Amino acid sequence: MTVYAAPIKDMHFVLSHIANMQSVQELQAYQEASQDIVNAVVEEAARLAETQIAPLNSGADAAGAQLVDGSVKPSPGFTDAYNSYVEGGWASLSYAPEYGGQGLPDLLAAPVEEMWHTASLAFALCPMLTASAVLALSKHGNDSLKEQYLEKMVTGEWAGTMHLTEPQAGTDLASIKTRAVPETAADGSQQYRMYGQKIFITWGDHDMTDNVVHMVLARVDGAPEGIHGLSLFLVPKFLLDDNGKPGTRNDVHPLSLEHKLGIHGSPTCVMSFGDNDGAVAYLVGEENQGIRCMFTMMNKARLEVGLQGLAISERAYQQGRAYAMDRVQGSNAQGEKLRIVEFADVRRMLLLMKSQTEAMRAMVYLTAAEIDKANHGEDPQARAEAQARVDLLIPVVKGWCTETSQEVTSLNVQVHGGMGFIEETGAAQHYRDARILTIYEGTTGIQAGDFVKRKLLRDNGSAMTSLLQDIASTEAELTESGDALAAVRTALAEGRETLQASVDHLIQQAGSDADHHGAASFNMLMQAGVVVGGWLMAKAAVAAQRDLAGADADRDFLEAKIKTAQFYAAHVLPRAESYKRIALAPSDVVMAIQEEQL
Ligand SMILES: Cc1cc2nc3c(=O)[nH]c(=O)nc-3n(C[C@H](O)[C@H](O)[C@H](O)COP(=O)(O)OP(=O)(O)OC[C@H]3O[C@@H](n4cnc5c(N)ncnc54)[C@H](O)[C@@H]3O)c2cc1C
């Protein structure tokens, strides 16, 4: 079993120096989020994550969730941990006060959610899916639905799910077939009966909560074909009685649980609607506007999955570091035994893990801060700018952090040598658990397509130009920081120039080569991740150097931050050049081969 210690120092450093927590605390909506509150929240969340959730992670991997008599039984210990989570008020942290939330910033939720996911991805998926359902209902539900369901979901007393996928409809939601038939309820209001099957539904059923509130995409009978004929529905596991309490079981049931590569503690359900009388469903928003409702949640949901990439990388890094400090192998010229951490190649692996994990943290928290400013900024211009930055960064956070988590968790296996391949150490679990992250909530291919088409081509590179200008400003700060950070400055400037070249080429090719953006998109997304990560590590190095001058400076931490940024500049940022060369390759290289030649 692997031990988890929340990286509280780095969290606070990133909150204040990269994400500029102070600027979020100055927003009218977040006046209550004093530094004392921030400190207390982070400290208390760490306690729950470290002591109660993290110790369950490997047991949940071994036991998994079970389907017993048509009902999902969570992995051992999860129900107690979930009860502690709800009793501690953690579910409602960043929800709006009008629905019973605590109204704290998304930026503060970022380290807290990181800790839940690092402790156990499988466990934290349940509140994560509930958060998506809450967002959909609060933005698009009518007053009656909100009154009946929202508060219980906000407190975590009831869980939520998201039902999109069907066997023939994964990425292509336009093919969804689940039907909703309108009818008049006993009280004269309109409701629907739902029929169909959904697959791959995370935490689709369980008894950790008294009710499970499903948000389901389906097609009303007679609605247009395709994406614009989809509507969003709320389908409770238990219908509410006259007192608003869970009563009769609705006609929605888990049919089976998937046997899968990782996240065994998270039940992935095949769900059936309408095997008997039809599942009672309530419309959320308007008919045929389901996709618009889903778009509302997309940024937040994709940020969360990017954050999962950060979280699992942190867990893998902590484990790899502990193993490398301990494992004795070989000896030096004097015959003294060496621990593997003393070998340069092992240090290289640990630094690849550490530096990219810290870059991910900076990227995720910065994006969360921009979300707060986009939602609550006082000035409309500032709100629009923050939203443009969020829209640009979301596919990068989702795509790059999750792809990089594959590398980091794989490096952890490598640091362990043969023991990494043996389940007993737990290194393999992190590697297996991470594998889903590049797939759900839009595959990396879909993030890459979104990045080049909607985020770069649609505004002719304008949001990216503003980001590149900010990177150039950091280069100027690095110059002022003197010789110590000169190599970081050079690497960052080169990275920025390569990214600029790929974007210019993309825009240039848009009219002439229809396949270019598809062929180049993945490499451009990875290039953006590497460069933005390098930018934020460089900012961290500048801030660390400034803080070192303070009388009570934490020298060990700050010097480590600078050395980690220097490593990233030397070993990770140069990857931007390779990505550029691939992005500039003609699309023929990808498309000329015939299907039968593949
Ligand atoms: C463990 C797990 C949990 C999940 N949880 C949920 C959940 O809670 N709710 C839910 O609704 N769904 C859930 N999903 C489903 C998940 O979101 C889908 O699996 C994912 O969106 C991909 O769809 P697909 O599996 O049909 O793959 P496909 O869409 O068939 O994709 C296969 C490959 O083709 C590529 N591809 C497809 N279309 C395009 C395109 N237009 N352009 C370029 N490339 C393309 C993809 O990138 C991918 O590499 C879950 C899945 C798993 C495995």
282-322 pLDDT, tens digit each: 999 999 999 999 888 888 899 999 999 999 999 999 999 99
Q: Which residues pair with 197 in a beta bridge?
A: 272
Residue 21 tokens, joined: 């927590």
Q: Are 114 and 315 contacting, i.e. CB atoms less than 8 angstroms apart?
A: no
Residues of the chain above pLDDT 90, percent: 95
Q: Are 99 and 138 contacting, i.e. CB atoms less than 8 angstroms apart?
A: yes
d(CA 298, CA 304): 10
Q: Are 313 and 404 contacting, i.e. CB atoms less than 8 angstroms apart?
A: yes
What is the helix (H) or strand (E) element at residue 180, kind and residue range? Answer: strand 179-184
pTM metric for this prediction: 0.97
**Choosing from 342, 385, 441, 559, which is the catalytic residue?**
441
Tell me, in angstroms, the distance from the centre of ligand 1 to residue 322's CA.
35
Helices (H), 377-512: 380-415, 427-434, 444-449, 462-480, 486-509
Pocket of ligand 1 (CB under 6 A): 129, 162-165, 170-171, 200-202, 260, 268, 436, 439-440, 443, 445-446, 449
| pLDDT tens string 134-171 | 999 999 999 999 999 999 999 999 999 999 999 999 99
Q: Which atom of ligand 1 is nearest to the CA of 263?
A: 1
What is the helix (H) or strand (E) element at residue 35, kind and residue range? Answer: helix 35-48
Which residue range(s) make up the domain with 525? 443-588
Q: Looking at ligand 1, which residue's alpha carbon is closest to its atom 35?
A: 445
User: Which residue, among 341, 375, 277, has the nearest Cα to 30 in the 3D structure?
Assistant: 375
Residue 242 tokens, joined: 């006259």
| pLDDT tens string 427-474 | 999 999 999 999 999 999 999 999 999 999 999 999 999 999 999 999
| pLDDT tens string 94-111 | 898 988 999 999 999 999
Q: Looking at ligand 1, which residue's alpha carbon is closest to its atom 6?
A: 201
d(CA 271, CA 171): 18
Does the residue 493 lie in any domain?
Answer: yes
d(CA 564, CA 359): 10
Q: Which residues pair with 249 in a beta bridge?
A: 238
What is the helix (H) or strand (E) element at residue 84, kind and residue range? Answer: helix 78-87
Whether the pLDDT of residue 590 is over 70: the answer is: yes
Does the residue 285 lie in any domain?
Answer: no
Mutate-to-test residue for ligand 1 from 132, 161, 171, 214, highest number of ligand atoms within 8 A of CB: 171
Q: Could you give the 3-state DSSP secondary structure of residue 483?
A: helix
Tell me, in angstroms, the distance from the centre of ligand 1 to residue 172's CA.
8
What is the helix (H) or strand (E) element at residue 591, kind and residue range? Answer: helix 588-591
Does the residue 5 lie in any domain?
Answer: no
Q: Are 273 and 84 contacting, i.e. CB atoms less than 8 angstroms apart?
A: no
Tell me, in angstroms, the distance from the centre of ligand 1 to residue 467's CA.
30
Tell me, in angstroms, the distance from the centre of ligand 1 to residue 525's CA.
19
> What per-residue confidence (pLDDT) applies to 497?
98
Whether the pLDDT of residue 482 is over 90: the answer is: no
d(CA 119, CA 312): 9
Q: Looking at ligand 1, which residue's alpha carbon is closest to its atom 11?
A: 164
Q: Are 392 and 464 contacting, i.e. CB atoms less than 8 angstroms apart?
A: yes
Ramachandran assignment for 100, one of left (phi > 0), alpha (psi -120 to 50 degrees), beta (any other)? left
> What per-residue confidence (pLDDT) applies to 511?
82
Helices 380-415, 344-376: crossing angle, 10 deg rounding: 160
432, with CB counted inside 10 A (0-12, 13-18, 19+), is: middle
Average pLDDT, the chain: 96
* Chain CA centroid to CA 300, Å: 8
| pLDDT tens string 168-190 | 999 999 999 999 999 999 999 99
Q: Which atom of ligand 1 is nearest to the CA of 442?
A: 21
Q: Which atom of ligand 1 is nearest to the CA of 266?
A: 1
Residue listed under structure tokens 């921009």: 370
> In one letter, which amino acid is 465?
T
Q: Are 169 and 39 contacting, i.e. CB atoms less than 8 angstroms apart?
A: no
Q: Which atom of ligand 1 is nearest to the CA of 445?
A: 47
Q: Are 530 and 494 contacting, i.e. CB atoms less than 8 angstroms apart?
A: no
> How far from each other are the two terminal CA atoms of the chain, in whole angstroms?
43
Q: Are 257 and 266 contacting, i.e. CB atoms less than 8 angstroms apart?
A: no
Whether the pLDDT of residue 1 is over 70: the answer is: no
> What per-residue confidence (pLDDT) applies to 294?
87
Q: What share of the chain is helix, strand, coil (3-state, %, to 5)?
A: 60, 15, 25
Does the residue 235 lie in any domain?
Answer: no
Whether the pLDDT of residue 586 is over 60: the answer is: yes
Sign of CA dihedral 295, 215, 30, 17: negative
> What per-residue confidence (pLDDT) applies to 513?
84
Tell me, in angstroms, the distance from the centre of ligand 1 to residue 270's CA.
15
Q: Are 57 and 119 contacting, i.e. CB atoms less than 8 angstroms apart?
A: yes
Question: Per residue, what are the HEC states of 528-574?
Answer: HHHHHHHHHHHHHHHHHHHHHCCCCCCHHHHHHHHHHHHHHHHHHCC
Residue 181's CB is within 10 A of a number of other CB atoms, namely 16
Please give the tally of structural domains in the chain.
1
Strands 212-220 and 179-184: parallel
**For range 485-495, the mean pLDDT:** 98
Does the residue 84 lie in any domain?
Answer: no
Note if 26 is an active site residue. no
Question: Per residue, what are the HEC states of 325-374?
Answer: HHCEEEECCCCCEEEHHHCHHHHHHHHHHHHHHHHHHHHHHHHHHHHHHH
Q: What Rg value do the Cα atoms of the chain yield, rounded?
A: 24
Does the residue 516 lie in any domain?
Answer: yes
d(CA 243, CA 241): 5
Mutate-to-test residue for ligand 1 from 406, 440, 446, 453, highest number of ligand atoms within 8 A of CB: 440
Q: Are 10 and 46 contacting, i.e. CB atoms less than 8 angstroms apart?
A: no
DSSP-assigned letter for residue 177: -
* Chain CA centroid to CA 480, Å: 35
Q: Looking at ligand 1, which residue's alpha carbon is closest to its atom 14?
A: 200
Tell me, in angstroms, the distance from the centre of ligand 1 to residue 69's CA.
29
Q: Are 235 and 33 contacting, i.e. CB atoms less than 8 angstroms apart?
A: no
| pLDDT tens string 25-50 | 999 999 999 999 999 999 999 999 99
Q: Which residues pair with 81 in a beta bridge?
A: none
Does the residue 473 lie in any domain?
Answer: yes
> What per-residue confidence (pLDDT) applies to 414?
98
d(CA 230, CA 180): 10
| pLDDT tens string 388-417 | 999 999 999 999 999 999 999 999 999 999
Return the biggest CA–CA distance within the chain: 88
Q: Could you give the 3-state DSSP secondary structure of residue 286?
A: coil
Q: Looking at ligand 1, which residue's alpha carbon is closest to its atom 23?
A: 170
Does the residue 297 lie in any domain?
Answer: no
